[in-house]
Structures are given as structure tokens and as C-alpha cells.
Structure 1
Amino acid sequence: MADPSAVKKKMASCSALKLFMASLTFAYICKALSGTVMKSSITQIERRFDTTSSMVGLIDGSFEIGNLLVIAFVSHFGAKLHRPKIISIGCFIMGLGSVLTALPHFFMGFYKYGQEVVHSDNSSFSACTTELPSTSNDTMPTLLHSDCRRESGSNMWIYVLMGNMIRGIGETPITPLGISYIDDFSKEENSALHIAILHTMTMIGPMVGYLLGSLCARMYVDIGFVDLNKITITPKDSRWVGAWWLGFLIAGFLSILASIPFCFLPKSAQKKGRQESNTSASPVGTGSNGGENQALNVKSQPPAKGKGHLTGFFYSLKLLLSNELYLIYMVLSLLQFSAFVGSVTYVPKYLEQQYGQSISKSNFLIGVITLPTVSCGIFTGGFIVKKYKLNLEGIVKLALLGHCFAFLLQILYFALGCENKTVAGLTVPYGRNDSADAPQDILPFSLCNNECNCDVNQWDPVCGNNGITYMSPCLAGCKSSVGYGKNMVFHNCSCVAGIGFHPANFSAHQGECSRTQHCSRNFIYYMVVQVLASFFFALGSTPSFMLIFRNVEPELKSLAVGVHFLIQRSLGGILSPIYFGALIDKTCVKWSINSCGERGACRIYDNVSYKTTYISLVTGLKSPTAFLYILLLLAMRRRMRRKGVTPSENKEEAVLEPIQDNIKSNQQSFTYNDANSETVI
């Protein structure tokens, strides 16, 4: 008869593990939600703090900086401490970081999106006036240079950067300590299933995050504090800023809530016999047949006797960096990851500027179309590997095939752009709508608005009845107006006059002119191509990660994953958004001017240059990848020949275990994979 006390301990241990699984799943969803909210709010932050794309790229990369600051400390000391409590502290810090990111909104004044004049319903406002501006007094320069930054709050973006960095610090212990806890205290046959469930449920976070980002982007930034009827812009306007702060508050409070259950969990939930099975298990990455049958590892090097920890580390690093298979895969994955991070960070802005879609709609489409497609691609890739029991060579071929299909599809993006917007005095001259015949010197003023004292720096676009957008009602030469807010209509606009127009038709309404039907069709084609490209990219990306620890010595696998993680984060996650943003800034044709007289956020881009720059960056980073995959395949075959293994023998001996077994025996891979969930869509 079973000992009642032993049964009671077993039930308590099982309950603790189940509670830990539920708590960790919620924490994973929260950290994915927080990262997605940041990605979906990048453009809103750029406009609210009147900064450039390269600067918000730095803000986005600050998460990776914070993560890298403490990853070594957490990985080394975390497992020796109370892991649930460390995770609890991490979730709490992650929540505080998200809340801190949103706080600048409450200390800044109301968002000023332009120099529009607010008037009552019954008044008639003349945009074109012959009166000189009243801002030319002697005290203005002093105010401009001494107090403008404080009044505008333009430096408040620093707190957003700090909050995002703190969020990265808090997120660090969740993955390595959570995965190791599950693997240590669950039954050996259940460990893989638990981790698979965990990563499957995590996909809820990005989906909810993009939908939340879409909802917040549809709301005005100062909702609840201003009369929305007085707002003259719409979510499709390049000056629109949604309630970006609301998503961070929600994500922050959920992360703080996720920290509570871990406080009540035990330090260990050790099962009887688990310790013995762990000590007798084969080394990490070796299946039941041993590492030599599971990978193309070279013969394990004997440990360096008499060497200190630091010397041993450099000796191991030297062995790792002399492994050509590891180096080739690290370079190709860095190129892929850099292209992925840069494209994902700025894809909502690209859809807005290129196709005239709102940020809200862009986030919604990513959440309901692109993310499920990526999930299907990951599942299909894993299914193919398991069904056909692909060896390492088969995995490389699958990854190469998926990459080639995705790359060829992305080439089509070059043909799916839209023409430049027709903005008088900016992209086309006044009175003309054919940019191909326009002279090189396009001036912001014309005879039609010569009598008006217009501010050329003002960006308050109106669409004339002639289908041309004007930078402001004043530059359109409008003499009168009727209506209120978004429904305001300007009449008697001298610059709108043209052949075939009657005086009554010399009018313009608020906002830019709509894009052409050709552009709308191209947007549909773009989304179809994006869905297919995302599927093929995800098809081989996850199985190919097995190559990191299958092509190195067993004792170097942890170091291999750590170095790979460091290179990806520092050169890809941090730098990629910065140089993507800097090159995108080069395509701007109209900048906002802040209260300090300095350049702020971009209002309108050269569509053709933006498309060429953005797509060329993505495809340029990915173009060498196919060559590197082929080089990797040849290097693997060369190593097999040196070992005296024929392709047929390799197919029989180097068959991969089912994906679930690989997940369990190579938990380091999940540490890396989840560490990059910040940028996964």
C-alpha cells in the first residue's frame, strides 16, 4: 500500500508544477504583448515626440540593450536562487518599464499637430491673409532658444527609451529560468509537451498586441481631455497620433499582475527519481543514439587541463569560432534576422506612406493575417521535419527552399508600389498634375498665392477639387471657409483654379487627396504576396535553428547558443532599426518644424525613393543568404566525407528525433528563440 505522506507530497509537487506552468504561460503572453505594443506604436511615438525614424529605431533597440546588460548575470546566478521569485521580480520590473514608457504622456501638454485656427461653427475663416505674422518681436528669439524644448517636451522621448530598457531588463529571467524549471521538475516524458504548449500559447500575445495597437491607434492621443469635434485630422493623416500610451499601461498592469502567482510557488518541485534520471541522461543535444549519430559534431576535444576559467573560456571560444559550419550559419542567420527586424519595425509606416493606409488598419492586418500565417509556416516546417525524418542536410535544403521562395516573392514588392503624391509646390508645380513633365525647380509659392502671407513650414494639407493636394489652405490661396473640424471646406481658392473649372468649384476640403484605384489594387496584391512570403520564410526558419547546436561539440553547445544570441541581439536587434530608420529619413521631402525651429518628424516621403530604399534594404540583406545556405551544405558534405560517412549512412544514422524530443534535450534553443520574441510577428 502506498505511503499516504508520499502520495500527498507527490500531489503537492504536481499542483505546484501545474501552477507554475499556468503562471509562466501568462508571463510569456504578457512579455510578447508588451513587445508587440512597442512595435505597433513606433510611428505614433515618432510623431508625438516630433523626432526622426532613426531616433525611434534607437528607442526600439533599447529593449535589446537592457536585456544584454543582465543576461549573463541572470543565466549564471539565476538557477542557484529561488527561480519563481526571480521570475516574479522580472515580471514586476517588466511591468514598471511599460508603465514608465507611457508616463511622458501625462506630463506633456496636449498634442499640437499643426498651426490650424480653431473657429466657431458660424464664423468664416480666410486662410489667405495680407496681414503680417505677429511673431516678429524682440523677445521671441530668447524664448525660442531657452524655453522651447522645455515647453514642447521634445526631450521626453528619453523616458520612453529608459522605460523600454527597463522592460528589457525585467524580461530577461523569464525564459531561461522558466524553461529550466519546467525541464528540472516535470516528468521526462512530459517536459517536451509542456514546453511545446508554452510556446504555442505565447502566440496569443503578439496577436492580441497588434489588435490592441490597432485599437489604440484609432483613438486620438488626448482622448478624454479634448473635444474630438475640434480635431481636424483623421487616422489617415500623417500627423495623426493615436493613444499609444494606453497600450503600454494595459501591458504594464498585466505584467505586474503576472508577477503575483510566482511569489507563492516553491523553490523546487522535485519529483522522486527525477534527479537520478537527470544525472544519467545523455549530454545535451545527444539523442538515444549519441551525439555522433545525431549531428555532424567533430570529435570532442579533451578539456584543457590546468587552465583557469578565463583561459578555458577563450580556449572554448577559439574552438567555436574555428568551426566553419557554425560561422556560416551565424552569418546567414544574422543577415536574415537584421532584415526581419528592420522590416517589421517600419512595415506599418511603409503601408501608410506607400498605400495611404492608417496605422490602425496596418496593425490590424498584421494581427489577423500575417501572424496566423507565420504560425502555420512554423507548424508546417516542424511537421515536415518530423514526418519525413529529415537529417541536417534535409533541414538545410528545406530552409534554402523556403528562403528562395520568400525572396522571389519579395522581389515583387518593387512592382507593387504607388506613384508619388501630387502635392503642389512640393512634388508637382502649381497648376499641373503631371510630375513627369515638371521642371526640376518646384517652388512652394506661385502667382496664385503671392498675395497671401503663408508660412511655408506649415503642413495642414487640403485637397482641391482638381485632385491636387496643397500644403495648407493658405498656399492653396483660399479666401473663405465654411464648416467645422474635419468637415471644414475652403472656398474661392485661387490656386485650385484651372481650365474647365467654374468659380464655384475653386474649393478644397481638409486632408490629402485619396490615392488612385491603381494604388488600392497594388495594396491588395502586396498583402497577398506578404502572406505567402511570410509563410515560406517561417517554413524553414525554426527547423534551421537546430543547426546551431547540431554542428558543434557537445560541450560547446551552451556557448554556441550564447554567442549566437549575443551577435543577433547586438548587430541585428539593436543596429538594424537604427540604420533602417536613418536611410528612410533620407527619403523625406517635407519635415515638420518644431517650436525650437528644428526639424521634427517627417510629414511626407518620396514614395518611389521610400519603396526602393526599404525593399532594397530587406532584399539586399537576404540576397547573400541563399549562397550561404549552399556553402553550408557543401561544408557539411565535406565534413561527412572526412569522417568517412556516406550520404546514405548519414540519412540512416543522423535522423533527427521528433521535434518534441529536440525541444526538451536542447532547452538552450528556446532561451534564444524566446529572447528574440520581441521582434517576432
Structure 2
Amino acid sequence: MRCVEMKVDEKVAPSEPREALPFLENREKCKNPSEKISKEEDDETACGFWLFKGPFMQRFATEKMYVILYGIAGCVMTMTFAYFNGTITTLEKRYKIPTKISGIISVGNDISTMLTAALLGYYAGNGHRPRWMGIGLLTIVAFCLLTSSLHFIYGAGEDALKLTREYGQVNETLARQERDQKLCQTKAAGCIQEEIGQWVPQVFLFMAQLISGVGQALFYTLGIAYMDDNGTKSKTPAMLSLSTFLRMLGPAIGYSLAALCLRLYIEPSLEPLIGREDPRWMGAWWLGWIVLAAMTLVSAIFLFMFPRELPSSRRRRLQAGQAEGNQEVNLKERSFGDMMQTVRKLTKNKVYVYNTMASIMYFFGYMAYWIFTPKYIETQYRQSAAMATMATGTVALGFSAAGVLISGYVISKYRPSARAMASWNAIVDFVTVAGILCYVAIGCESSDRLNSLTTLSAENSCSASCHCDYVHYAPVCSPENITYISACHAGCSERSKDELGRTIFTGCKCMGSSSLESGTESQFAVDGTCPVDCFNQFLVFLGVMCFLKLVGASSKSTNLLIALRCIPQEDKTFALGLGSMVASLLGFIPSPIFFGWLIDNYCLVWGKTCSNKGNCWLYDTESLRYALNLTAASFIFVGGFLNIAVWHHAKDLKIFDEVEHVEKEVEMDKLDVKSRENK
């Protein structure tokens, strides 16, 4: 007999089958077989590519290094999606996009994920998976560059430029005309012409999202399967928790980056005349995309360097007597018919089906908060876009990361059963429903009253004679603390500056009792919305949200472990891809569109142009709070009962191996080698 030093492409003589050559049977005839295998590493286990390879690189081909780099790459990827969510309200203002359309744009990546996840998981899953993941990250780079290029193509926009000091200096006549249009007009003004190709930015953003979905499918479907296949089952919970923890830092950093960029004006070289709390403020949304593109490119290069199979996994497989030749045969047998047969087999797996459907219901309900939480905070609690983004990203998602770490520690230490994990998933769903019902009660009465009064001011019959149909949203505040959509809607005819530099509108005939002819000169309004203090309610909302993030994140690892263990190893990559496709089709795609439509239904003041109604400036906050939260809670509530069905069918499912004999043999081998060396 000889020591096992075979390569993947080495041919085995018929008289000497691979089953007769396990490493453990030849241990006595090799002084140090583990070292010999490591010296004879072939291209399949070699770390690096092109010029970036060699013995120095090989030391990084370990499970721990992969988990860390995979987690960091996932962190960068989630940063891009969080950054998009954090800047979505600014994009709506800049390109006059209704929330319903922005919801459709945001699901572009889920549409391409749905179309490609299963196929890529089935075919690319048997290729060089780290290289495919690197290619996926390159599509994210393209997504970042395409999105940011909109600013360089269209610029900051006329609406934003009109609110800068430089615009008034360079275009004094146009600036005066713009200011006069805000006042009460004696005759109807013409409609505001749309910017040429206004629909093009929307299509551009959607296509960029489509491209990113391919990278997302490659990264998650192949990355998790590669991690599970190249590690031991006892270490999988810890590896999943660590990589998920690193990935959870991505949204926090992405939202923080968005908050930082939104603090700058959309054209940083110009001086704005309004503050960040003004609803007309537009931040430098495009700046962060350039940073994210560079970070994603570096992550892609590092992932490219990992081998097709980690050396430690190769040694364990050879020691277990697994035949490599069988894998080569399986590669040739891949076909569409075989894939459909695998689909039929998975549909009969009740644990897999119920677990997938429970995840879909949770995602459908909670997707509204992942995408629209900054918008929700802005409208409900009157916080700036930067504050809403910072709270959503830095504070709340920090609790999500803590939840992932705590759950990973508990699972690794106590090794709960599949039923225990499924029951915890159900508990998390019902606790989440209770927390969302608390959102309904956490309203701001001042904000609700302000919006209703603003709507009444818009419907004032007095302002009809001022011809305000096409006046831009430019709120003013009356002494009675009533906000008017513009000075025109308040019936104001004159403008001046006070000693504090504030713009004061006078002669406002449509304010309260001033609609009478007498005394109109004493009626005035101050530029900007009336002050509203909702900060205490915002803090309560933030506290409940952080608790839900902590509890919800604790079920990520348990849900994924059930999904990994309820399917055979040969179907793992495809099953993850198929689950991702179904989740996109039934959850990730329809949810943002549905909730975007729901939010638009409660709009009170639309921006109006010649051909459409543009973006929404003001919402019925009280009705929106009830409708959004109760609808989301209903879907998650159904998901809780589906997790109970998972609990019922998971009684025979094993999450951990009772005895990992291969690892024990390796340890025994190392002890024998050390004892011989000592002798």
C-alpha cells in the first residue's frame, strides 16, 4: 500500500478503487501524511490567482480567514443596499419619484435574484465558487457606479440650485421671478415643465438594481454553501454567526455613510439658503456610491484568491474515504431534467417548504421597515433625513448585530434541537407582532394635527383666487402655528426680511379670519414649517425598534441552520438558490411595491407638474401609522403559525452530528505523529 497523495484529476486503476485507499488505513506507513498532503496541494486547493499566488498566500486558505473575509464582503454588499434605502427619500425629491415607483425600483435586485438564483446555484455551485462570488461582487461595483453617474449626467437639478445663494447672484432675474411665483397671483400661471427625460433616471435606477441582483444571488447562495461544505457541522453555527455579525455591520455603516453624505448639500460647492430640517433639503446622495464602489472592488479581489476547496476540507474528505471521482461524474450528469427532479424532491420536504414559507411571510411584513423606516421617521416624528438615517443604521442595527452574536453563542454552547430552534422562530414572530402593535400607539399628536391643518389650508377656497396649482412646495408658518403649503396658499402678496434675516410674508388674506377684507395688512407668515416637537415620541419608537431588532436577529441563525440541515448535502446549493428565488418572487418583490402603494394612498400634498403629480410632500400621518403597522403585523403573525408547522415536522431533524469520527481520527493521527517524533 502507498500513502494517499492523489490529485483531483488523477486516474484510479480499475484494480485499485478509491474506496480501498482511505488515509486512515495507511497511517502506519506514512511518517507524517498530513504534512505530505499539504505539500502536494494542487490547483484545486491553492490560494491566489494570476500573479497573486504562492506559498505565502497558502497560509490564508483557512476556514477562519474565509469566514472573516466573507463576512467583510457581505458587510460591504449590505452597505450598498442600506445606503440606497437611506437616500431613497432624497432620490424621490430629486427625480420626482412617487413612493410606489421607488418601491418598484428597490425590488429590481430581487427580480434578477429570482430569475437567476436557482440556475446559478445549480450550475455555478459545482464550479469555482469563490471566483463566482468575486464576479458577483463586480456586478455590485457596476451597480454603484451606474447609480452615482445619474448625478454627473443630470446635475443637482433646478429645484436644488434655486435654493442656493450662488443661484440668486448668478441668475438674479430668474431668482426674483421664482420668488414672485410663490406669492398670490392675479392670473393663472403656466404649469411647471418637467425636466427632459424625467423617466430616464427611474429606468436607470431600476436597471442598476437589476444588475446588482445577479451579484447578490451569486454571493449568498454560493457563499453559505461553500462555508458549510468546507467546515465541520459543529463549527457551522459559530461561523454563521460570525459572518452574519460582520454582515450586520454593513447596514449600520451604510446608513451612517448616508447620514454623513446627506448632511452635505447636493451640490457641496454651493451655499444653501435652507437648513437640513427643511423638507426641501436635498443632500449629496451621490457621494457615497463612489466610496462603496471602491470598497466592493477590493472585497471582490480578496474573494477571488480563495481556492475551489479549502485544504482542511480536502484532508477531511480523503480521510473519510469520500471518492472524488464520483464528484467528477456528477458534474457531467447535471441537466435540466435532473434539476426538475430535484425541485420535485424538495417540494415534498415539509420542513423545507414550511420553513421557506415562514421566512417569506416574515420578510413580506418586515420589508416595509427595512426600506421605509427612514421615511417613516421623517414623516411621523418630523426628524431630518440625516437623523432618521443615523437612527435606523447606527443605533438600531447595532442591536441586530448583538442579537446575532448572542444567538450564535447560545447555539454553539447548548446545541438546541431542531424543534427548539423552530419554536424560538415562532416566538420571535409573535414578539415582533406585539412590538409592531406598539408602533401604532407611538404617534405624535402635534405632527398629526399639523398635517391636518396644512391640508385644510390647501383646501381653503380663498387661495383658489391666487392660482396656486403649480406653485412649488415652499411651506410658511402663520402666527396661529398653522403651516401653509406656500405663501401663495396663504394669500400673501408681499415679502420682506426681518432683523434676524428671516423671510417674512405679509398681506396674507387667506389666514384664519383674515379672509375678510379688513386687517389683511397685519397678517403675516414666516418662511418654513411650523415647529413641532416629536423628539420624545421618536425616542420611545427608537427604543421599541432596537428591542425588535435584537430579538429578530436572534432567529437568523436558527432559521438558516434548519434550512441547511433539512436537505441532503448534494442538493444544498440548489435548495438555497431555489429558496432565494421563491422568497424574491413572493416576498422581496411584491412587498416594497405593495407598501409603496399603501404609503402613497395616504399622501395629502403632491408635487404637481404638467403631466404627473411627482413626489409626495405631506402625509396623513395618523392614518398611515395605523394602516402600515397593522398590515405588516398581519403577515408576520401568519409566519408565526407556519413556524409552528416547522416545529411539528422537525422532530427527526438533526442539526449536529452525535460523533464526528473523522475529526477524532485526525486528532488521534496528530497524537501518534507527535509521540513518534518525541521518541
Match of 2:400 among 364, 374, 392: 374
Partner in structure 2 of residue 575 of structure 1:
590
Inter-partner Cα distance in structure 2 for 1:490 and 1:387: 68
Deviations 1:317-375 (A, max 9, x none): 33432344433333222110111222211111111111111221111112222112112
Match of 1:422 among 436, 447, 450: 450
Offset of residue 73 of structure 1: 4.4
| 1:362-401 map, 5 Å | 362-401=388-427
Q: Are the structure 2 counterparts of residues 92 and 221 from structure 1 closer, same or farther at C-alpha, using a change threshold of 3 Å?
A: same
SS across alignment from 2:607: strand
Deviations 1:610-642 (A, max 9, x none): 112211221121122333333444455xxx6xx
Tell me how many residue pairs correspond in the alignment. Answer: 590
Offset of residue 279 of structure 1: 5.1
Offset of residue 527 of structure 1: 1.4
Contact 1:14 1:269 in 2 (8 A): no
Match of 1:200 among 242, 245, 253: 245
Contact 2:121 2:576 in 1 (8 A): no
Partner in structure 1 of residue 579 of structure 2:
564
Partner in structure 1 of residue 212 of structure 2:
167
- AA aligned to 1:105 is H
TM-score (norm 2): 0.76
Q: What residue ranges of structure 1 are gaps of 5+ in the alignment?
A: 282-306, 431-441, 641-649, 665-681
Partner in structure 2 of residue 480 of structure 1:
494
Q: Which moved more, 1:551-560 or 1:561-570?
A: 551-560
Q: What residue ranges of structure 2 are gaps of 5+ in the alignment?
A: 1-30, 42-54, 324-332, 664-679
Inter-partner Cα distance in structure 1 for 2:160 and 2:150: 20
Offset of residue 134 of structure 1: 6.2
Inter-partner Cα distance in structure 2 for 1:583 and 1:61: 16
Inter-partner Cα distance in structure 2 for 1:86 and 1:655: 31
Contact 1:217 1:359 in 2 (8 A): yes
Inter-partner Cα distance in structure 2 for 1:280 and 1:615: 52
Q: Are the structure 2 counterparts of residues 514 and 483 from structure 1 closer, same or farther at C-alpha, using a change threshold of 3 Å?
A: same
Contact 1:497 1:503 in 2 (8 A): no
| 1:532-543 map, 5 Å | 532-543=547-558
Partner in structure 2 of residue 677 of structure 1:
none
Inter-partner Cα distance in structure 2 for 1:221 and 1:266: 44
| 1:382-531 map, 5 Å | 382-419=408-445, 420-422=448-450, 427-428=455-456, 443-446=459-462, 449=463, 452-455=466-469, 457-483=471-497, 487-496=502-511, 506-515=523-532, 517=533, 519-531=534-546
Partner in structure 1 of residue 279 of structure 2:
238
Question: Is residue 260 of structure 2 the alignment partner of residue 215 of structure 1?
Answer: yes
Inter-partner Cα distance in structure 2 for 1:380 and 1:189: 17
Question: Is residue 298 of structure 2 the alignment partner of residue 257 of structure 1?
Answer: yes
Q: Are the structure 2 counterparts of residues 608 and 112 from structure 1 closer, same or farther at C-alpha, using a change threshold of 3 Å?
A: farther
Q: Are the structure 2 counterparts of residues 115 and 481 from structure 1 closer, same or farther at C-alpha, using a change threshold of 3 Å?
A: farther
Q: Are the structure 2 counterparts of residues 507 and 116 from structure 1 closer, same or farther at C-alpha, using a change threshold of 3 Å?
A: farther
Q: CA RMSD for the aligned pairs?
A: 4.0
- AA aligned to 2:508 is C
- AA aligned to 1:50 is K
Partner in structure 1 of residue 146 of structure 2:
100
Percent identical: 22
Inter-partner Cα distance in structure 2 for 1:585 and 1:608: 14
SS across alignment from 2:480: coil
Q: Are the structure 2 counterparts of residues 576 and 460 from structure 1 closer, same or farther at C-alpha, using a change threshold of 3 Å?
A: same
Deviations 1:548-586 (A, max 9, x none): 344456665555433322211221111110111011111
Partner in structure 2 of residue 68 of structure 1:
114
Partner in structure 2 of residue 17 of structure 1:
61
Inter-partner Cα distance in structure 2 for 1:85 and 1:632: 35
Match of 1:34 among 80, 87, 91: 80
Contact 2:119 2:577 in 1 (8 A): no
Offset of residue 106 of structure 1: 1.2
| 1:194-343 map, 5 Å | 197-224=242-269, 227-229=270-272, 231-232=273-274, 234-262=275-303, 270=311, 273-277=315-319, 280=322, 310=336, 312-343=338-369
Contact 1:215 1:360 in 2 (8 A): yes
SS across alignment from 2:459: coil
Contact 1:130 1:453 in 2 (8 A): yes
Partner in structure 1 of residue 638 of structure 2:
624
Q: Are the structure 2 counterparts of residues 506 and 45 from structure 1 closer, same or farther at C-alpha, using a change threshold of 3 Å?
A: same
Match of 2:196 among 151, 164, 177: 151
Inter-partner Cα distance in structure 1 for 2:234 and 2:464: 81
Inter-partner Cα distance in structure 1 for 2:412 and 2:231: 24
